[in-house]
């Protein structure tokens, strides 16, 4: 990542691709998630929002599955940086979904980015956990996904967190 800090995106891309390939081959969750984040940061430098969102979304999923909070924070920061390079879109309006998310669904989607359980999301929004579950199912259906990390990635791609 020193190369990226020095502005040499080509070198950073080459080394981050190599690091990601090695991490995938060895299968250590924290190393994989860290490599995904590093490659995502290079994709942001390349202004490749779709690739960056995909990489950060995968890193978020690995981080959540393995409980690595540092990785979760880094992936969420990366996803936030993707929204900056994509430009701001109006919340609730998205190309590629049949109906916009409601304000409450957007609130739930934003909280899905963190490492919160359904119970914690419910407490945060002062609603029942079963209501959170219903909103999550609706979000998944509207975004055409079946996993939390994919929902977050898709929402970032659509600019819903803008």
Q: pLDDT tens, 34-69?
A: 888 888 888 888 778 878 888 888 888 888 888 888
Same domain? For 82 and 116 the reply is no
With a pLDDT cut of 90, the percent of the chain lying above it is: 6
Same domain for 15 and 70, yes or no, is yes
Mark whether 20 and 59 lie in a shared domain: yes
pLDDT of 119 > 90? The answer is yes
Clarify whether residues 111 and 138 are in a common domain. Answer: yes
What is the tally of structural domains in the chain? Answer: 2
Q: What is the rounded distance in angstroms from the CA atom of residue 88 to the CA atom of residue 86? A: 7
- Alpha-carbon distance of 121 to 117, in angstroms, equals 6
Residues 6 or more apart in contact with residue 86 via CB below 8 angstroms: 49, 156, 157, 159, 162
What does the pLDDT look like over 83-111, one tens digit per residue? 666 553 434 434 445 567 788 888 899 89
- DSSP-derived letter for residue 115 is T
- Signed CA dihedral, 83, 144, 58, 149: sign only: positive
Q: Does the structure show a pLDDT above 60 at 149?
A: yes
Neighbours of 115 (CB within 10 A): 15
With respect to residue 80, please indicate whether it lies within any of the assigned structural domains: yes
Domain membership of residue 34 as a residue range: 2-86
In Å, how far from its chain's centre is CA 13?
20
What is the CATH number for 131? 1.10.10.10
Report the chain's C-alpha Rg in angstroms. 16
Which helix (H) or strand (E) covers residue 156, if one does? helix 148-157
Residues 39 and 69 in one domain: yes
107 in a domain, yes or no?
yes
In a shared domain, residues 38 and 71: yes
């Amino acid at each position: 990542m020193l190369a990226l800090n020095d502005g040499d995106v080509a070198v950073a891309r080459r080394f981050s691709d190599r690091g990601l390939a090695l991490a995938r081959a060895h299968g250590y969750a924290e190393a994989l998630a860290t490599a995904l984040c590093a490659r995502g940061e290079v994709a942001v430098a390349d202004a490749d929002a779709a690739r960056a969102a995909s990489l950060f979304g995968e890193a978020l999923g690995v981080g959540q599955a393995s409980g690595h909070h540092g990785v979760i924070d880094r992936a969420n920061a990366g996803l936030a940086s993707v929204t900056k390079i994509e430009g701001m879109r109006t919340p609730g309006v998205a190309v590629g979904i049949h109906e916009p998310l409601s304000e409450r669904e957007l609130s739930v989607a934003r909280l899905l980015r963190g490492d919160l359980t359904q119970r914690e999301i419910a407490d945060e929004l002062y609603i029942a956990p079963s209501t959170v579950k219903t909103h999550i199912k609706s979000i998944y259906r509207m975004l055409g996904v079946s996993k939390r990390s994919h929902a977050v990635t898709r929402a970032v791609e659509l600019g819903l967190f803008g």
